[in-house]
Amino acid sequence: MRPSTCEYQLNKKPGDLFKNLAKHVAKGQGSDQITAQEYVRSHAASLSAEKCAGLGNIVQLKEGIQYMLFSNIDVSDGLVNGTTGTLKRIQKYLDTSDNQIRAEFLWFEFDEESVGVKLRVKYAHLYNAHSNNNQEVIPRNWTPFFPSTVSYRIRSGLKWSVERIQFPITIAEALTIDKAQGQTYPCVAFDLNQTSKRGVKTMNKSHLYVALSRVRRVEDLYLFGAQSIVEGIKHQFANEATRRKIAEEQAENDSTNKEMKRMQAECPFINRFRFTEETYREKKKGPRVSVCIHNVANLKAHLGCVQADFGMMNADVLILVETATRTCEASIEMPPRARNENTYYGEYWINNFRLVNMGSSRREGAKNGCALYVRKSIESSQLAFLADNSNRAGVYDGNKVCELGLFGFRINGKDFRVIYAYNHPKSNLENFYRELKAFMVENKLDIENNREKAHKVYVIGDINVNLRDLAEQNSNSNARVALSN
């Protein structure tokens, strides 16, 4: 019979083969101890590995051979079932209990350097103690590995037991694909002609994926087998061409594909908000002000998300609502002495922006609040905060929250006013329009006061109502009247 790959490598590798005999210890009290000792002398060596959690009576050890753990020793230290490493040195001792030479512990170099860190720290004293007289220093990436102990009771009801002490390792010069899953190796040789003992082909797509993905670079993967790899590539190309032809014929008659082509030709997507594109600031030409408003749902918690969004970071004006801030007693403009320092509202600082205004509630647990940020490259003489309604009574009264702010800017000699708003979902439409009208009158933006100045006024925000449905909602007639008046 042809030897297995593991046996072949074990015999081929130069060096002495050491057969480590398991140590058996009798456990019991009084006469039970004597019975256990008699059993150890006569029968313990014949105990099968299956009865001792896989620990065999003999483990063949040779330096330079790769071994694999078949049990979980310490999951946190990477010493788990399937971990592989190369045996570098066998530390032997004379067991005086039976005058048998055994391995006290083994020096392993594991494939992953992170495996065995805790053991290397715990037994750091062994590195100097076991360096030989030729001043050969044991490398620090070698890990001392100790045998495991398994207790076996011949049958239930007995008051004595036998302990087997042995290394939970097996030769792993070759591995099955299933056992190699989850591992990474410096190089892999893969037999394409995978068959069972009866000659039946066992390779499937899952096995193929696992086998080919155990290395980091394709240069470290070696393929061999009975079938020609070149023939396999030609066969793959032929199959791929046939598959592509069939797929193209099916796509021509597919209704979904036809609709997608029609939409691409007749309904191309045009982004109206160019500042949300990553290259906006590079392509920006001419005078324009881009305004972005966003319900941030707690600014402190989501500040990192805001800073990672290139659409928001490209805007000239950034308005964040529902900030859950309680940082000031009144909504005030950032003082000039602190504009260039991270000392005012420091925890809400955003790179390349200055915090112009922070409106917030003083109530405990309030989730509302509005923050107005302006890009630093825009001078305060070009764009300025004008007012908000944070000091107006009733703004933060229960769920009837309607926060309003106002800023203005000039482009090409024309003045613009922007009202930004946040209306609580439970605040009705009538309440929102009443607050909006009062705010516009107070800041002389209503029709009567704004006729001479002719400011263009825009209202943006998270209003939580569908304004297009307003004309169809008879129940909101009072709101329409309130706004028109």
Q: What is the pLDDT of residues 242-266, one digit of tens each?
A: 888 888 888 888 888 888 888 888 8
* pLDDT the model gives residue 394: 58
The mean pLDDT of 406-422, rounded to a whole number, is: 89
Residue 383: which CATH number?
3.60.10.10
* pLDDT the model gives residue 330: 40
* pLDDT the model gives residue 419: 94
Q: Are residues 168 and 312 in the same domain?
A: no
Q: With residue 247 as reference, give the H or E element that holds it.
A: helix 229-252
Total of domains in the chain: 2
The mean pLDDT of 288-313, rounded to a whole number, is: 88
By percentage, how much of the chain surpasses pLDDT 90? 20
* pLDDT the model gives residue 484: 41
Single out the residue in 152, 174, 196 at which a domain terminates: 174
* pLDDT the model gives residue 393: 61
Least confidently predicted of 74-83, 104-113, 186-195, 387-396: 387-396
Given a contact cutoff of 8 angstroms between Cβ atoms, the answer to whether 327 and 349 are in contact is: no
Check residues 446 and 323 and name the one with the higher pLDDT. Answer: 323
* pLDDT the model gives residue 477: 46
Q: Are residues 280 and 418 in the same domain?
A: yes
Q: Does residue 453 carry a pLDDT above 70?
A: no
Q: Is residue 235 part of a domain?
A: no
Q: Are residues 281 and 153 in the same domain?
A: no
Place of tokens 């076991």: 130
Q: Which domain holds residue 69?
A: 5-174
Q: Are residues 147 and 290 in the same domain?
A: no
**470 pLDDT tier (thresholds 50, 70, 90):** low
**474 pLDDT tier (thresholds 50, 70, 90):** very low
Burial 198-226 (b: 16+ CB within 10 A, else e): eeeeeeeeebeeebeebbeeeeebeeeee
Single out the residue in 124, 157, 174 at which a domain terminates: 174
Q: Is residue 182 part of a domain?
A: no
The mean pLDDT of 203-209, rounded to a whole number, is: 80
The mean pLDDT of 161-171, rounded to a whole number, is: 89
Check residues 183 and 194 and name the one with the higher pLDDT. Answer: 183
Given a contact cutoff of 8 angstroms between Cβ atoms, the answer to whether 442 and 470 are in contact is: no
* pLDDT the model gives residue 207: 82
Q: Using one digit for the tens of pLDDT, what is the confidence trace for 357-379?
A: 887 765 655 667 889 999 988 88
Q: Are residues 318 and 464 in the same domain?
A: yes
Q: Is residue 88 part of a domain?
A: yes
The 3 state secondary structure assigned to 297-309 is: CCHHHHHHHHHHC
H-type alpha helices, 267-376? 280-283, 299-308, 310-314
Q: Is residue 130 part of a domain?
A: yes
The mean pLDDT of 177-188, rounded to a whole number, is: 81
* pLDDT the model gives residue 478: 45
What is the bridge-based pairing of β-strands 353-359 and 370-375? antiparallel
Most confident option among 262-271, 310-319, 462-471? 310-319
Q: Is residue 329 part of a domain?
A: yes
From the list 413, 408, 347, the residue with the least C-alpha distance to 383 is 408
DSSP per-residue letters across 361-398: --STT----EEEEEETTS-TTTEEEEEE-TTSTTTEET
* pLDDT the model gives residue 106: 94
**What are the percentages of helix, strand and coil residues in the chain, rounded to 5?**
30, 25, 40
* pLDDT the model gives residue 323: 86
Q: Tell me the C-alpha to C-alpha distance, in Å, between residue 98 and each of 18, 22, 29, 93.
A: 18, 12, 21, 12
* pLDDT the model gives residue 379: 84
Single out the residue in 119, 146, 174 at which a domain terminates: 174
Given a contact cutoff of 8 angstroms between Cβ atoms, the answer to whether 316 and 374 are in contact is: yes
* pLDDT the model gives residue 285: 66
Least confidently predicted of 116-120, 230-234, 299-303, 428-432: 230-234
Q: Is residue 458 part of a domain?
A: yes
**337 pLDDT tier (thresholds 50, 70, 90):** very low
Least confidently predicted of 209-218, 280-289, 391-400: 391-400
Q: Are residues 321 and 468 in the same domain?
A: yes
Q: Is residue 241 part of a domain?
A: no
Instruction: State the average pLDDT for the chain.
Output: 79
What is the bridge-based pairing of β-strands 383-388 and 396-397? unpaired
Q: Is residue 451 part of a domain?
A: yes
Q: Does residue 344 carry a pLDDT above 50?
A: no
